[in-house]
Amino acid sequence: MGWPVSRRAFLRCAGRAGSLALGGGILGGVGSLARPASAADLVKAEYWKPAADKVVRCALCPRGCVVACDERGFCGARCNLDGTYYTMVYGKVAAKKLDPIEKDPLYHFHPGTKTLAIATAGCNLDCSFCQSWQMAQSRPEDVPSELLTPAQVVDTAVAAGCQGVCFTYTEPVNFIEYACAVAEEAHGRGLYAVCHTAGYVNPGPLKDLCQAMDAFAVDLKGSSEDFYRQHCGNAKLQPVLDTIQAIHQSGKHLEIVTLVLPGLNDSPDGIVLIANWIASALGPDVPYHLTKFFPEYKLKNLQATANAKLEEVRGAVYQQSPLRYVYIGNVPGHGGQSTYCPTCNARVVWRVGYTVREVALRNGRCACGTRVKGVW
């Protein structure tokens, strides 16, 4: 949960806000701006409403931050200046890398193609196990960035021979206005757009994101509300489940990812619970990735996930759920990275690390005739 604003800041900018019913939001988010910001350097945000005088209510994610003047939301990447809400990260690219689509991870969507992966600073979750915390858990002004227009991003992708752009590393929901603009530019140049997200977003913004993207990898971090509350910055599980179902209903390609954390979410029962929910809510053909954790951020004292544990939980999923495609991630060379036909068990996509060595599918079908669901 965010920290409350100071009494002085509240009285200065909110005026009569105390007499109004502002609801259950977080007043002030992560606190006041580190230094004065100019609206001339920022882009007006979408997905917010005036709350009282110069107080605003963010409508982007389930946190529903109520933000006083000169304050930010929980994510640290949106600020209230004189009663108008701004995104502080539009066009401010903190990471720009050439990545195979398999790194996202998307295994059933144009395998072997290359993306330009970009991110900006900030996140609306605070996961104790964050693997990119240097960017995700920092304020925009504390992270080096490169100012790029959507056209410049796509120019870079085309010049590098990429087939798509990917929004990843931090949380694309935080820079949704920019991600959607880049995706529109990418589509105009014949590239696809994909998004790796934690799915902590309200239905309205999610609808816009679904219209902009061609595929999603969504992190389903744990199987309980307690896990999300304790390990994801007092977040909730249900909005993530709702997001996943909405993406599936939109018809966009979808894959689910769980980072397997030793002693926290690695029980076979918990992983099988997630797998059976996926099968029930989305169908047995949705790919499920079980990825290896490496000690980072607040859990540097935790051991990396043992390969044997990943194999154990993957085996449990295959034995106790109807899912057909379950992968082991972050273990280069492991056989659990390849795709196998659910009927004859032939290897139809051979992966070694992030490299695709062979795609043995014809029109999306195995030699035995079984259709392997995906965008091939």
Q: What is the mean pLDDT of residues 352-371?
A: 97
Q: What band does 31 get if pLDDT is binned at 50, 70 and 90?
A: low
List, for residues 251-265, the tens digit of each pLDDT value.
Answer: 999 999 999 999 999
Identify the pLDDT of residue 270. Answer: 97
**Does residue 363 form part of some domain?**
no
Q: How many domains does the chain have?
A: 2
**Does residue 116 form part of some domain?**
yes
Residue 12 has pLDDT above 50, yes or no: no
- This prediction's pTM: 0.91
List, for residues 306-330, the tens digit of each pLDDT value.
Answer: 999 999 999 999 999 999 999 999 9
* 199, 114: one domain: yes
**Does residue 373 form part of some domain?**
no
Query: Residue 297: CB partners within 8 Å, gap ≥ 6?
Result: 127, 128, 129, 130, 131, 133, 137
Q: What band does 52 get if pLDDT is binned at 50, 70 and 90?
A: confident
List, for residues 181-225, the tens digit of each pLDDT value.
Answer: 999 999 999 999 999 999 999 999 999 999 999 999 999 999 999
Residue 29 has pLDDT above 80, yes or no: no
Identify the pLDDT of residue 9. Answer: 35
* 271, 163: one domain: yes
**Does residue 216 form part of some domain?**
yes
Domain of 31 in residue numbering reads as 7-87
Query: Residue 93: CB partners within 8 Å, gap ≥ 6?
Result: 118, 119, 120, 145, 146, 147, 148, 153
**Does residue 245 form part of some domain?**
yes
Of 96, 178, 179, 87, which is closest to residue 135 (Cα–Cα)?
A: 96
Identify the pLDDT of residue 37. Answer: 57
Question: Please, what is the average pLDDT of the chain?
Answer: 91
Q: What is the mean pLDDT of residues 346-353?
A: 97
**Does residue 328 form part of some domain?**
yes
Q: What is the CATH number of the domain that holds 274?
A: 3.20.20.70
CA end-to-end distance (rounded Å), the chain:
42
Identify the pLDDT of residue 41. Answer: 78
Final residue belonging to a domain, choices 27, 59, 87: 87
Lowest mean pLDDT among 30-44, 180-194, 345-359: 30-44
* Cα gap 85→37, rounded to integer Å: 12
Of 260, 262, 234, which is closest to residue 127 (Cα–Cα)?
A: 234
Residue 35 has pLDDT above 60, yes or no: no
Cβ proximity of 89 and 121 under 8 Å: yes
* 162, 63: one domain: no
